[in-house]
């Protein structure tokens, strides 16, 4: 099974008006431990060299094309998105697919296998949706609502630090509750 942590960063919360500025993907094992490195496909930054290798910047269209290849082409079991509040990400992805690919059908996006841990956070929070965000139930330090502001101010290093910290927090959250629930089955 091809579980992959998936998250997007955007310039806002409206899929029709705002744009996708990054996509983060990391292959993980069933228990949430990484089985590969975190890949950040981003449209922001300076494209500076790191040890002689230029940083690659992607357009939103590049990111959408990569998502199409991962989600809509090939075996659906090779790329299973795992994340937190994937409905938000899927709304952005689907709205871009709708614009770019005439054959796209929303049901094909939502009918595929995926694992969203937000409902688990609601249960951990006593069934309340209030304060059930990853920043409330894990070690995540920042709220993603700051990303659009950082993007406007060109504080790209803050976005990258946030993305890395958010990924680490999500994976720790996943691993903790995977182990807890696996122990409860015994």
pLDDT tens digits, one per residue of 102-127: 999 999 999 999 999 999 888 888 88
- Number of domains comprising the chain: 1
Q: Which of 52-61, 124-133, 140-149 has the lowest mean pLDDT?
A: 124-133
Residue with tokens 């040890």: 51
- Structural domain including 24 reads 3-185
CATH number at residue 47: 3.30.420.10
Contact 26, 39 (CB under 8 A): yes
Mean pLDDT value of segment 138-143 = 78
The pTM is what?
0.90
Contacts (Cβ under 8 Å, ≥6 apart) of 25: 4, 5, 6, 38, 39, 41, 70
- Whole-number Cα distances in Å, 4 to 40, 92, 103: 13, 18, 25
pLDDT, one tens digit per residue, over 62-113 is 999 999 999 999 899 999 999 999 999 999 999 999 999 999 999 999 999 9
């Amino acid at each position: 099974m091809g579980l992959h942590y998936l998250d997007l960063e955007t310039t806002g919360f409206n899929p029709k008006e705002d744009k996708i500025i990054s996509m983060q993907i990391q292959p993980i094992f069933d228990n949430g431990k990484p089985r590969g490195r975190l890949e950040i496909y981003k449209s922001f930054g300076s494209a500076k060299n790191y040890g002689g290798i230029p940083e690659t910047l992607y357009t939103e269209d590049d990111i959408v094309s990569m998502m199409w290849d991962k989600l809509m082409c090939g075996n659906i079991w090779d790329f299973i998105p795992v994340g937190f509040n994937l409905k938000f990400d899927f709304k952005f992805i689907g709205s871009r697919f709708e614009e770019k690919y005439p054959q796209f059908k929303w049901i094909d996006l939502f009918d595929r296998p995926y694992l969203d841990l937000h409902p688990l956070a609601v249960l951990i929070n006593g069934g309340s949706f209030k304060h059930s965000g990853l920043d409330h139930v894990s070690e995540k330090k920042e709220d993603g609502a700051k990303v659009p502001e950082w993007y406007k101010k060109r504080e790209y290093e803050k976005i990258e630090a946030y993305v890395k910290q958010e990924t680490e927090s999500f994976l720790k959250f996943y691993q903790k509750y995977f182990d807890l629930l696996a122990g409860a089955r015994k």
